Structure 1
């Protein structure tokens, strides 16, 4: 029997520079996908996968994240007094129970590996999950839940991977694999390999289950790409003593840390809702009656028509 995956780290301390100016005053993790903050979806995935305690790593100017997951007493009273009981109940149900979410500050922007390391004392000596908040992963079964199932069969480290076009492999962190009688295992991790040199077309896509030994490796890890402490560098060191297994995610993934992915996620999630889909379809038909996105007006990078 393997130790249960009870805790998950969500690194949310970044500046969100790819989404400026929207993120100048709003944490990128609280930008909304339809009518729900992006981070809500990630936290919901964690809890739906059996996680009991979520640890969100924040930084300066991210206090709104803590407020969002707190009980809003004044709002609750106001909604109930206004007779908006269903909305009040929905918000109450979506608010995590006391003690199920903790927050820790990453006081310096030193990379993903350092952000994970800052949560070490809360995680303790047990395996844990990591969910990147930019990556909205949509499937009938939560990606992390499927990874937990794989972990419970083998007890190793697990990373989510997805397939890309081989010619695009140089844009991603790519894994190399070795088949075994007990399923494939990871043999290497290459960050943005030179075109034509990638060992596969499977890229790391933002979900991890890691053994606690990674913390000691991160503590000793020298800065890597970008002068930051990289989680993948520590995982390479972990490979020397522990197995890492891939879970191939075949759902839909939206990189909401960039405008194109963020807008696409909004369109998809809106179209998937029965209360919104007819309105979305009618609006698109009215705006672009000839049925092509080529009808969109040309814009500058600022978003203003040119």
Structure 2
């Protein structure tokens, strides 16, 4: 089955970027003249996805307003002959079919994804985290979709990170079955440096089968009361479900951190203006 739908979780509080995220969603932080989430939506579209569900939360209304039409602004631009600017804002409102649902409480990534169950309606679906930008000639999600078309199972986007950084990520263990493709046999969330089975880290890209929703209901919350997607994926592995990982080719920017956001602006900012 072709991957038609994408889910973008964007309900997190953005605590790593306080105080600016106290009043602005982290997904709306500018990279050039476009917000972070614009790049994520563009990646999904370039991968061939035509249906996007964004999981929002309290204080995230700016995301909905950004992708909506703004007829007052469009009229203003038209009256003043600002044709290029008008074209840009009109295109944003017509990019793709976007739907929204609100996560009631910030109870983890796994809990956010549970809100997508009715929308995906039994289909496999893509997940793109709303604060990860990945630039590549072939979109990161399209690279993963090509792997899914061959293996017909859950696909994780991964990259090799420095050993000193393994504590920041979910880490996989498994065998490399092809160049850049791994058969996953275990996942460990943020292991200590000396306990990590590898330095192959899960990034903010997934293709999930609908069985993930039963697993998310079954796994208990962690010590912080949050439902973790990694725990649900581990449960699927223990039940005999196959998971493969694709080493994504491209440059990733974790714009949920100050360092990553500044770097994205330095390297991508000039691409974000009106052409």
Query: Above 0.5 in TM-score?
Result: yes
Secondary structure at the aligned position of 2:144 is classed as helix
Work out whether 1:170 is the aligned partner of 2:174.
no
CA 1:19/1:94 → structure 2, altered by over 3 Å: closer, same or farther?
same
Distance 2:61 2:164 in 1: 41
Distance 1:273 1:30 in 2: 13
Distance 1:273 1:22 in 2: 21
Q: Name the structure 2 match of 1:13.
A: 11
Work out whether 1:254 is the aligned partner of 2:253.
yes
Distance 2:274 2:207 in 1: 36
CA 1:181/1:224 → structure 2, altered by over 3 Å: closer, same or farther?
same
Secondary structure at the aligned position of 1:13 is classed as coil
**Rg larger for:** 1
State whether residues 84 and 274 of structure 2, in contact with CA within 8 Å, keep that contact through their aligned partners in structure 1.
Answer: no
State whether residues 167 and 196 of structure 1, in contact with CA within 8 Å, keep that contact through their aligned partners in structure 2.
Answer: no
Work out whether 1:112 is the aligned partner of 2:109.
yes
Q: Name the structure 2 match of 1:207.
A: 205
CA 1:173/1:128 → structure 2, altered by over 3 Å: closer, same or farther?
same
Distance 1:85 1:180 in 2: 52
Secondary structure at the aligned position of 1:50 is classed as coil
Secondary structure at the aligned position of 1:226 is classed as coil
State whether residues 31 and 272 of structure 2, in contact with CA within 8 Å, keep that contact through their aligned partners in structure 1.
Answer: no
Q: More strand by proportion, 1 or 2? A: 2
Secondary structure at the aligned position of 1:121 is classed as helix
TM-score by length of 2: 0.94
Q: Name the structure 1 match of 2:224.
A: 226
In structure 1, the gaps of 5 or more residues are 277-306
State whether residues 219 and 235 of structure 2, in contact with CA within 8 Å, keep that contact through their aligned partners in structure 1.
Answer: no
Distance 1:89 1:25 in 2: 29
Secondary structure at the aligned position of 1:196 is classed as helix
Q: Name the structure 1 match of 2:54.
A: 56
Q: Name the structure 2 match of 1:68.
A: 66
Higher deviation after alignment, 202-211 or 81-90: 81-90
Q: How big is each residue's C-alpha offset from its partner over 1:238-263, in whole Å with a ceiling of 9 and x where there is no partner?
A: 11232111110131111101111111
Deviation at 1:180, TM superposition (A): 4.4
State whether residues 131 and 255 of structure 2, in contact with CA within 8 Å, keep that contact through their aligned partners in structure 1.
Answer: yes
Give the one of 187, 194, 197 matched to 2:195: 197
Give the one of 138, 146, 150 matched to 2:147: 150
Q: Name the structure 1 match of 2:34.
A: 36
Highest RCO, 1 vs 2 (Cα 8 Å, sep ≥ 6): 2
Distance 1:89 1:195 in 2: 49
Deviation at 1:171, TM superposition (A): 3.1
Q: How big is each residue's C-alpha offset from its partner over 1:82-122, in whole Å with a ceiling of 9 and x where there is no partner?
A: 10011101221232357x11000100111000000011111
